[in-house]
Each structure stands twice: as structure tokens, then as C-alpha cells.
Structure 1
């Protein structure tokens, strides 16, 4: 029952979806809810995949993907997209650690953020629209949990860069066992789409490899510029790794 509560706390934190009243809330639960971040990704993937599967029956692939993307953004309240845009603004416009953090905390979006999130969304939509229908559906179901696992790896291995912050309660501790739970909930749907024949194992492996490279690159940049990560960094990693997964899968199937 406590594990179910932690899942719902993570769902409430990372999405705008309602949770049952019996769940309750204790501040200490946030410290351990990050283990279910990939499980929240599976819920978002189910929403996006359902919209795509329904829309693709009567609409062109590009329109179906756009509607699917809009559904996932609505479900999460653009939480991760906002983090990506803030990270683009901070890393692009700040020259010192203090200035980068100041820019990232600003609720206004700048040129780097606007251009970055526009290109990011266009890349995801174009990549998914270029995939066969079952492959696109499989990519959605695999990418959302796996990309959130990549974000969890920052919580597991890096220090939080701010003294205070919205994501700090989730970032205070993540043990190896908790990361193992996160990894299991991310790998399970990825394995299922391969077993169902929606994605070839090789294309999934290439997509995952692209995710790992992007995570390492972003983590090194965050460490160099900030000395750690923030909540915006988690959103940035989730968005970037989701996009490069689609690109990796597309590169395999296109060739």
C-alpha cells in the first residue's frame, strides 16, 4: 500500500492527473517517490499512445502525432518542456553559475528557450510521423518511461545544485535499490514492445544507446556549468533523450 501511495505521489507531482483522496500526503514521501518516475512515464505513454492509435485510424500520421503530442503535454502540464526551455535559456545566455541559475529560475522564456523547444517538438513530431504506425506506437510506449529513467540517473548519481527548489524533495536521496525499481518499470514496457513485434530489438538498442550518450553529454554539461542539476535539468534530459530515441529508431528503420 505504501508503494502504491508513492506511485500516486509521483503521478501527482509530475502530471496534472487527479489521484484518489485516500492516498493522503506526507512530505517525507516525496524523498522516495522518484523511483516511480518511469512508471509515471508509462501512464503518459498510454495516454499519448491511445490518442495516436485512435487518431491514426481516420487522420494522416503527422496529424495523429501532433494530437498525441498535445495530449502528453496536457497530461504533464508541459512540466518537462518548460524545464527544457529554461535549460536552453540558462545554458545559452548565462556565463557564470549564478547567472545560469538565475535565468533558469525566471518564468519568462527567452530566444534560446523558444527556439529550443520549437525545434525539439518539431523533431519529435517529424520522427514519429515518419515511422510505421505500430513502430510509432511502440516508440511512444518505450521512450516515455526510458527517458524518465535517464532523468532518474541524474538524481541517483549527481548532487542537487540549488539550496532550495521544487524538485529538491525528490532529489535528496535515491538509493541503488530505488533506481533498480525505476529501471525495472522502464525496461518492462520496452521489452514488451519488442516481444510484440512493434519494434525490432536492434532499433530499440540503438535508440537506448542514443539516450545514454545524450544523458552523459547533458550530465557533463550540467556538472561543468552548475556543479550539479536542478529540476529544469531533469526535464531537459527527459525531453532530449525522448527525441534522440525516436531519431535512433527512425535511423534504423529508414535504412
Structure 2
């Protein structure tokens, strides 16, 4: 039992990061719903790593440079998985006239105007938010933001139908997540957030980020009938940006 759960955690780590681990063999057919409960935990670990890099960089470089370094590490650590999904989703929803055309655009490896602008906007929002948060709170905020963002993608995976056809980012899950698995994912994200952030700031930022992510999910349901791997990436990025922005507003206002 424990060995199976360790394997699912390693699958989540392998899927969400570029951390070199031994290939999982045999690879289970139901890897996505079974490993999804560990994705918020993996997100928290990524956030901790990015926050640590930001703190170390801040001791050497000016704050804007340290922030760019930390965001670059974040992208390298995740292989730009979510950023790629954001760009593809923005291009598809902005330029596609039909569900079929939008799915076709998502599968195109080229980036368009909408995708480029979406990436610029989200990265700029993250960078300026981190600059306003300050070194005392930044690690906790990053941990909570990254954990919650992965949870947002997991909830979308659980409650929206798959619409991607043969989209290669995330294939159709052969089975659904159980209520126990969903509970583990939600509890992990909430426990992490309450442990690393001020309670009021965490709750408020989470509410705003959930609303922002839900809007993207509803747009995806209307535009293509559900989620794809790209949509999950877009939801993750929108949640992160919204969470960091509102947390920055509250922390800066309190200061």
C-alpha cells in the first residue's frame, strides 16, 4: 500500500517537474486520477524551492533581478508546462471560431499574439506582486500559491469533462478520482496554506484565485466543452497570478 502511494507521488513529481527520478515501471493506466491527490504537495515543494531561490538571490542581487531569477527557476523546474498551456489556451480561445478550430489551435506548437500577450501579462503580474510582498512573507505565499494552483487544476480535472480528443498534454483519464483522493488533495492544499501564511490573507487570496480559476474553467466549458491539458495549465497560471496579486495587495495594505 505504502509502496503504491509512493509511486503515485513520484508520478506526480515526474509529471509536474523536470526533477530527474528513476522511470516508473510498470506505469499504471490510471496514473492521472491516482496521482492527482499528490499534485498540491508537489506544488508546495516547487513553491518552497522557488521561494528559497528568491531569498538567496535577494541577498546578492537587487529585488527585481532576484524575482526574475526565481521565476526563471520556476519555469525551468516545471519545464514551462503550465506556461505552455496558458499560451495555447489564450491562442485557441482568442483566435478560434469553433470548438473544433480551438482544439486544433491548441495542438499547434507555434505561439500566437494572444498566447504571447497572456504570458507577458501573467509573468508581469507575478513579478510585480512578488516585489510588493517582501522577503518576510514571500516564501509562504509562494508555497500556498503553488499548492493551490495545482489543486485548482486537479478540481478541474475531477469535475469537468475531457474535451481534448487526442491532445497530448493530458490524455483522457480511464477512471475518475474518488472522494477520498479529492479530500486528500483539498486538505493538503488548505493545511499547507494555513501553516505558511496569515490566515486572513490566505483565505482572501484563495477566494479571489478560486473565482479567477473558475472563470477560466467556465469559459473552457463554453468554448470547447470541457478541459484539455492546456486548459489545466491555463487554470494553474491564472490561479497563481490572482493569488499572488491579491496576497500582495493585502500584505502591502497592512504594511
After superposition, the CA RMSD in angstroms is: 1.5
User: 2:203: which partner in 1?
Assistant: 205
Q: Distance in 2 between matches of 1:80 and 1:218?
A: 14
User: 1:104: which partner in 2?
Assistant: 106
Task: State TM-score, norm by structure 1.
Answer: 0.93
Deviates more, 1:220-229 or 1:157-166: 157-166
* 1:132-168 per-position Cα deviation (integer Å, ceiling 9, x unaligned): 2121221111100111101111111111002323312
Q: Distance in 1 between matches of 2:174 and 2:61?
A: 42
Q: Does 1:27 align with 2:28?
A: yes
Q: How many correspondences in the alignment?
A: 249
Runs of 4+ in 1 over 3 A off after TM superposition: 169-172
User: 1:197: which partner in 2?
Assistant: none
User: 2:162: which partner in 1?
Assistant: 160
User: Residue 29 of structure 1: CA displacement?
Assistant: 4.5
Match of 1:222 among 220, 223, 232: 220
Q: Does 1:121 align with 2:119?
A: no
Which runs of structure 2 are paired with 1:9-24 in the superposition (5 Å)?
Answer: 9-20=11-22, 23-24=24-25
Report the secondary structure of 1:143's partner residue: helix
CA contact (8 A) 2:194 2:202 kept: no
Q: Does 1:176 align with 2:179?
A: yes
Q: Which runs of 5+ in 1 are unaligned?
A: 195-199
* 1:51-106 per-position Cα deviation (integer Å, ceiling 9, x unaligned): 11211122222211111111110011000000000000000000100011011110
CA contact (8 A) 1:34 1:170 kept: no
User: Residue 38 of structure 1: CA displacement?
Assistant: 1.0
Task: State TM-score, norm by structure 2.
Answer: 0.93
